[in-house]
């Protein structure tokens, strides 16, 4: 804050002409920042903002205060001045109606707070599912040099000699409870063991997927994605990130120089290779969209066909994130895919992805990351589906599905919304068999609203008791990355937008062919056209005439556009990704 001609992001953010007198504006700001106790020497340094995403509701971000201490140490050691500032914090379980509904609010908060306040670079602290995408979206739009670090995964728990991880095992045990295999006392005991430390879900859920893809994207220093939240390496990574933020300020290393189309190709490839969460597809589409790159679903699908699933982690495999950290984190995955990656991409370290790989410690024998020619699954994790039921696409996580259901035709059992599902799914009279296709409508971005993780429809109790473990289920909703099953998600356009999903009736035949990428409603075109004519709006949005809900319902886009708000995407459109 030295001259009134400062055109750095920090200078511009200082709003030097806010009072119509640039000298006075600067004078006033200096006066108020002095009240924080900073010396002139401190204020002459590069200012590194640090997003404080701690909250008493957010166990995934419980360690943020000690992370900030370590980041501040790194900034100071490198000659900068760290300044922490709050942005929205949100946890999956405590964000009503859904965290997805609030993700764009956090992204707007992040963008505007970075832009509004004077800073030369910023360290972003994410972790829980929506916080990493929201921070990356906001930082991409703000255009200030930014580096990401994450809180890191939880350690696993233990129940009667069996290893437990949130929340793949939450679902597994809940399904066993519903099937009558374990009693209320035991399920209560298990609830105390599923999340035993601070940190994010320790399976390949959305948080882990976003951390790994963000590192592959180049937005995080190498090795950061998999370090457990409570591990000392986590704090060293924070210290290094703080120090690096000081250098990035001098280099003006802005997010658009890192998050380029080839970098997104790397990230989308890693999403396939780690057996990642379907949610990450929506989030990466939103981040890319902020830089003007629309998502090309066909290209993503093609990427999957040549990229094997290599990481043996739940829910597609066996292990947990702490095992991946011990196996070397993202590095061995990058190494196996080296011939398929765009190695020239610049990362926040100032070096390219290829240079970082060359500098990484030598490989050692491990069981978590498979060799390229010995994969867990030979196609990628996710498969794009199209057909008359999903003209704008739908997605299935084939690596976590039952192979024998990936090609299936059966009669629909339709639930018109979440409430209908809750009321009828366990009705003993429900006309459902293991061959039925469970269909949930009006659970998309606008329908629910907030596109909840309701796509993992429970197996009807009467079938669960007969030992049915999986069925074909489809909806316009999302699913937790920690879940498994033959589940078709993100059907677009959604039912509430008048998509063909709205036309499905009980007993209609539905054909899923994942290998062919098809999802068909086997009903005559003529019949569908006549149903379309009588279709009445099935969603009521009480209380949606004001506030954030008003903005959300007016502006939220469909899954292929990342469910971002339409006005937050730039008007200038670049090449599609991946
Ligand atoms: Fe935060 Fe799973 S609840 S990562
Ligand atoms: Mg999740």
> What pLDDT, in 10s, does the model give residues 222-234?
999 999 999 999 9
Least confident of 3-12, 105-114, 339-348, 547-556: 3-12
User: Which two tokens mark 331?
Assistant: 């590095």
Query: How do the domains of the chain map onto residue ranges?
Result: 45-155+197-295+308-359, 157-191, 382-533
User: What's the gap in Å between 481 CA and the centre of ligand 2?
Assistant: 5
**Ion ligand 2 contact residues with beta carbon within 5 A:** 129, 205-206, 480
Percent of the chain with pLDDT over 90: 88
> What pLDDT, in 10s, does the model give residues 311-325?
999 887 899 999 999
Phi, psi of 119, deg, nearest 5: -155, 145
User: What's the gap in Å between 321 CA and the centre of ligand 1?
Assistant: 13
Question: Exposed, middle or buried: residue 321 (CB in 10 Å: 0-12, 13-18, 19+)?
Answer: buried
Average pLDDT score over residue span 197-213: 97
CA separation for the pair 281, 276 (Å, rounded): 9
Q: Is 201 in the pocket of ligand 1 (CB under 6 A)?
A: yes
The pLDDT value recorded for residue 477 is 98
Average pLDDT score over residue span 547-562: 95
Task: For the chain, give the mean pLDDT.
Answer: 94
CA separation for the pair 415, 424 (Å, rounded): 8
pLDDT band at 1 (very low <50, low <70, confident <90, very high): very low
pLDDT band at 164 (very low <50, low <70, confident <90, very high): very high
Other CB atoms closer than 10 Å to residue 281's CB: what's the count?
Answer: 30
> What pLDDT, in 10s, does the model give residues 469-509?
999 999 999 999 888 899 999 999 999 999 999 999 999 99
Query: From residue 560, how far is each of 159, 268, 386, 546 by CA, in Å?
Result: 40, 14, 13, 27
The pLDDT value recorded for residue 10 is 60
Q: Whose CA is nearest to atom 3 of ligand 1?
A: 92
The pLDDT value recorded for residue 6 is 55
Q: Is 182 left (phi over 0), alpha (psi -120 to 50) or beta?
A: beta
> What pLDDT, in 10s, does the model give residues 506-544?
999 999 999 999 999 999 999 999 999 988 766 667 778
Reference 549, options 113, 105, 107; nearest CA is: 105
Instruction: Point out the ligand 1 atom lying closest to the alpha carbon of residue 127.
Output: 4
Coil, strand or helix: which one is 347?
Answer: coil
Q: Is 161 left (phi over 0), alpha (psi -120 to 50) or beta?
A: left
Q: Is 198 in the pocket of ligand 1 (CB under 6 A)?
A: no
Other CB atoms closer than 10 Å to residue 161's CB: what's the count?
Answer: 5
Phi, psi of 109, deg, nearest 5: -55, -50
CATH number listed for the domain at residues 382-533: 3.50.30.80
CA separation for the pair 359, 361 (Å, rounded): 7
Other CB atoms closer than 10 Å to residue 466's CB: what's the count?
Answer: 12
Q: How big is the chain, counted in residues?
A: 578
CA separation for the pair 86, 82 (Å, rounded): 13
Complex ipTM > 0.90 = yes
Q: Is 10 in the pocket of ligand 1 (CB under 6 A)?
A: no
The pLDDT value recorded for residue 17 is 59
Q: Which ligand is nearest to the CA of 59?
A: 1
pLDDT band at 175 (very low <50, low <70, confident <90, very high): confident
Rg of the chain over all Cα atoms, to the nearest angstrom: 24
CB-CB contact of 226 with 324 (8 Å):
yes
Q: Which ligand is nearest to the CA of 92?
A: 1
CA separation for the pair 51, 134 (Å, rounded): 12
Q: Whose CA is nearest to atom 2 of ligand 1?
A: 201
* Beta bridge pairs of residue 85: 51
- Residue 171, pLDDT above cutoff 90: no
CA separation for the pair 355, 338 (Å, rounded): 12
CB-CB contact of 359 with 492 (8 Å):
no
CATH number listed for the domain at residues 45-155+197-295+308-359: 3.40.50.2300
pLDDT band at 2 (very low <50, low <70, confident <90, very high): very low
The pLDDT value recorded for residue 5 is 46
- Residue 15, pLDDT above cutoff 70: no
Q: Is 207 in the pocket of ligand 1 (CB under 6 A)?
A: yes
Across 162-189, b (16+ Cβ under 10 Å) vs e yields eebbbbbbbbbbbeebbbeeeeeeeeee
CA separation for the pair 217, 331 (Å, rounded): 13
CA separation for the pair 309, 401 (Å, rounded): 13
pLDDT band at 9 (very low <50, low <70, confident <90, very high): low
Query: From residue 531, how far is each of 336, 491, 503, 528 by CA, in Å?
Result: 50, 19, 6, 5
> What pLDDT, in 10s, does the model give residues 261-314?
999 999 999 999 999 999 999 999 999 999 999 999 999 999 999 999 999 998
Using DSSP, how many helices (H) and how many strands (E) does the chain show? Answer: 21, 14
> What pLDDT, in 10s, does the model give residues 395-407?
999 988 999 999 9
Average pLDDT score over residue span 346-357: 98
pTM of the model: 0.96
- Residue 3, pLDDT above cutoff 50: no
Q: Is 202 in the pocket of ligand 1 (CB under 6 A)?
A: no
Average pLDDT score over residue span 107-115: 98
The pLDDT value recorded for residue 7 is 52
212 CB-near residues (< 8 Å, 6+ apart): 225, 226, 270, 274, 276, 330, 333
Query: From residue 19, how far is each of 13, 320, 499, 510 by CA, in Å?
Result: 14, 55, 51, 64
């Amino acid at each position: 804050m030295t001259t009134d001609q400062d055109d750095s992001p920090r200078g511009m953010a200082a709003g030097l002409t806010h009072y119509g007198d640039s000298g006075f504006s600067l004078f006033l700001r200096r006066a108020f920042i002095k009240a924080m106790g900073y010396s002139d020497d401190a204020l002459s340094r590069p200012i590194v903002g640090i997003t404080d995403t701690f909250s008493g509701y957010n166990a995934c971000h419980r360690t943020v205060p000690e992370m900030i201490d370590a980041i501040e140490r790194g900034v100071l050691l490198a000659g900068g001045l760290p300044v922490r500032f709050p942005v929205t914090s949100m946890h999956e379980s405590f964000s009503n109606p859904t965290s997805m509904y609030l993700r764009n609010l956090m992204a707007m908060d992040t963008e505007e707070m970075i832009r509004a306040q004077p800073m030369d670079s910023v360290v972003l602290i994410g972790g829980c599912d929506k916080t990493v995408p929201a921070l990356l979206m906001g930082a991409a739009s703000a255009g200030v040099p930014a580096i990401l670090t994450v809180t890191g995964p939880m350690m696993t728990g233990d129940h009667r000699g069996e290893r437990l991880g949130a929340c793949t095992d939450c679902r597994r045990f809940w399904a066993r409870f519903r099937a009558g295999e374990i009693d209320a006392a035991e399920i209560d005991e298990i609830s105390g063991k599923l999340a035993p430390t601070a940190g994010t879900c320790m399976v390949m859920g959305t948080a882990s997927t976003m951390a790994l893809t963000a590192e592959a994207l180049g937005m995080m220093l190498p090795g950061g994605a998999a370090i457990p939240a409570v591990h000392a390496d986590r704090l060293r990574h924070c210290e290094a990130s703080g120090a690096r933020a000081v250098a990035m300020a001098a280099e003006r290393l802005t997010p658009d120089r890192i998050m380029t189309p080839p970098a997104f190709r790397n990230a989308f490839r890693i999403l396939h290779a780690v057996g990642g969460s379907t949610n990450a597809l929506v989030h990466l589409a939103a981040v890319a969209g902020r830089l003007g790159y629309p998502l090309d679903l066909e290209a993503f699908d093609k990427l999957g066909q040549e990229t094997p699933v290599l990481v043996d982690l739940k829910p597609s495999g066996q292990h947990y994130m702490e095992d991946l950290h011990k196996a070397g984190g993202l590095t061995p995955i990058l190494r196996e895919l080296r011939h398929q990656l765009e190695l020239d991409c610049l990362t926040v370290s100032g070096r390219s992805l290829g240079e970082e790989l060359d500098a990484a410690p030598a490989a050692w024998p491990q069981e978590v990351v498979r060799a390229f020619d010995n994969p867990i699954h030979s196609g990628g994790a996710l498969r794009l589906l199209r057909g008359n039921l999903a003209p704008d696409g739908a997605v299935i996580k084939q690596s976590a599905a039952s192979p024998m259901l990936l090609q299936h035709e059966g009669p629909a059992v339709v639930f018109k919304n979440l409430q209908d599902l809750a009321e009828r799914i366990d009705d003993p009279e429900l006309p459902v068999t293991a061959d039925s296709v469970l269909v949930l409508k009006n659970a998309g971005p606008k329908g629910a609203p907030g596109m909840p993780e309701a796509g993992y429809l429970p197996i009807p109790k009467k079938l669960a008791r007969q030992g049915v473990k999986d069925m074909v289920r489809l909806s316009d909703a999302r699913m937790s990355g920690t879940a498994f099953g033959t589940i078709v998600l993100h059907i677009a356009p959604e039912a509430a937008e008048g998509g063909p999903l709205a036309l499905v009736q009980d007993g209609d035949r539905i054909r899923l062919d994942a290998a062919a990428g098809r999802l068909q409603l086997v009903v005559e075109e003529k019949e569908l056209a006549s149903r379309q004519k009588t279709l009445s709006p099935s969603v009521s949005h009480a209380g949606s005439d004001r506030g954030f809900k008003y903005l959300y319902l007016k502006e939220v886009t469909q899954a292929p556009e990342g469910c971002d708000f339409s006005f937050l995407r730039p008007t200038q459109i670049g090449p599609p990704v991946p």
